[in-house]
Structure 1
C-alpha cells in the first residue's frame, strides 16, 4: 500500500467516526424541530386540534360547566325562596281574611243568640239593610242571592241553628262553622266585595238578627 492509499484510508475512517457521532444528534434535532412545527402549524380541520388548543378548550369547557351548574343552583335557590315567600304570603293573607270575618276574642254579640228571639224592630231594621245595595262595592245586596224573603240559595245546613257549617266559610276562610254575624261578615267581604261591618255596629246586629229570623223560618218550612 502506498502512502497515498494509507492517507486516504485514515481520512475515510475519521469521516466515518464523525458521521457516527453527528448523525444521531442531527436526527434528534430534526425530530424536535419537526414536532414543534407539527404542534404549531398542524391544521385544525377535520377535528385535528393543537395540543395547547386542546388544553385551552378543556379549561374553557370546564369553566362553562361550572358556570352553568352555579347558575342552575342559584336559579333553583331563588325559585325555592320565592315559592316559600309566596306560600308564606298566601298563608298570612288567608289568616288576615279569616281575622276579618271571625268573631274577635271575648266578643259579646249585640243581638239575641241564634236560638233566641230578637226584637221585631231590630229584625225590621235588618230586613231593610238586607235589601240595601249601598252596603256593597259591586251593587249587590243580600237579597240579590237569597231572595226578597231571605229564604233562597242556601245549603241543607241552613236547616240547623247557628252556628253551623257553611260552604263559603269553609272553602274561602277555613272556618268549620259560623255564627250568624260571622255569616253576615263573610257575605260582606266575599260576594259583596266590601269591608266587614264594625263588630259593635247596629248594622251588624240588625243584619244578624234578620239572618237568625230567616234561618228559623227556613227550618220551619215543610
Structure 2
C-alpha cells in the first residue's frame, strides 16, 4: 500500500469520527437548542462505542435542560398566582372592613337620633321668626308654654326638663352664650352639624332627648319655640331680653 493511500485512509477515519460527533449537534441546533461543548464532554463522548450512543447522551442532556427550564417556569407561575391570590384576599378583606365600618357608623348615627336631614333647615325654608330677637310678645308667650309642654315628647320630657323653667337656665354649654347660629355639642356629636340656628336646636331636642318626631318646618309650634329660644340665649349670655 502506498503512502498516499495510507494518508487517505487515516483522513477518512478522522472524518467519520468527527461526523459521528457533529451530527447530533446539528440535529439539536436545528431543533432550536444550543450546546456548549467542553474538553470533558469530548472525553466523555469518546467512551461510547458508536455515534448513536453519543447522540443519546446529547439528547438526554437536552431533555434534562428543557425539563429544568419547564420546572422553573411552573414554579414562577405558581408563585405569581399565589401572590395575586394573596393580594386579592387582602383587598377583599380591606373592602369588607371598610363596609363594616361604614355600616357601624350609620348604625351609631341612627341610634343617636338619625340623620341631619331630620333636624337641618330645608333648602327652601325661610323662618318666620327673627334670629336677632325682634319677635312679637304673643309669639314669645306661646313659645314659653311649649317650652314647658311635656306632651310634645314621647317620654314625658319637656324643654324645661333639661334646661330649667321659671327663668332657670341650666344644662347649657358655654357655646350657648354665643348668638345663633352657634356650635352645640349634641348637634356635632349626633348629627354632624358644626353649628345650628334656634329652630334647628329645637328640632334636635325634639328628636334626641324628647324622642319625638321633628316639628313641621314653618309651623306655629316651631316658630314660637325658636323665637323663645332666641330670648333664652340672650338671658343666658347676660344680655337684654324680653322674658
Task: With the length of structure 2 as denominator, give the TM-score of the two structures.
Answer: 0.55
Give the equivalent residue in structure 2 for 1:84: 99
Structure 2 gap ranges (5+): 1-84
Task: Select 1:178's aligned residue among 188, 193, 196.
Answer: 196
Q: In the alignment, is the contact (CA less than 8 A) between 2:144 and 2:228 conserved in 1?
A: yes
Give the equivalent residue in structure 1 for 2:142: 125
Give the equivalent residue in structure 2 for 1:205: 223
Give the equivalent residue in structure 2 for 1:193: 211
Q: In the alignment, is the contact (CA less than 8 A) between 1:141 and 1:192 conserved in 2?
A: yes
> How many Å apart are 1:134 and its aligned residue?
0.7
Rounded Cα–Cα distance in structure 1 between residues aligned with 2:197 and 2:157 = 22
Rounded Cα–Cα distance in structure 1 between residues aligned with 2:213 and 2:168 = 22
Give the equivalent residue in structure 1 for 2:158: 141
Give the equivalent residue in structure 1 for 2:54: none
Rounded Cα–Cα distance in structure 1 between residues aligned with 2:154 and 2:101 = 28
Rounded Cα–Cα distance in structure 2 between residues aligned with 1:80 and 1:125 = 53
Matches within 5 A, 1:16-165: 81=96, 84=99, 87-88=102-103, 90-91=105-106, 94=109, 97-112=115-130, 114-148=131-165, 149=167, 151-165=169-183
Q: In the alignment, is the contact (CA less than 8 A) between 1:150 and 1:214 conserved in 2?
A: no
Q: In the alignment, is the contact (CA less than 8 A) between 1:197 and 1:204 conserved in 2?
A: yes
Structure 1 gap ranges (5+): 1-68
Task: Select 2:233's aligned residue among 191, 215, 220.
Answer: 215
Task: With the length of structure 1 as denominator, give the TM-score of the two structures.
Answer: 0.60
> How many Å apart are 1:150 and its aligned residue?
5.4
Aligned-CA RMSD value? 3.0
Give per-residue Cα distances to partners, 1:149-197, cap 9 Å, x unaligned.
2521111111111001111111111111100000000100111111111
Give the equivalent residue in structure 1 for 2:47: none
Give the equivalent residue in structure 1 for 2:56: none
> How many Å apart are 1:217 and its aligned residue?
1.5
Q: Secondary structure at the match of 1:203?
A: helix
Alignment CA distance shift 1:150-1:209 (3 Å): farther
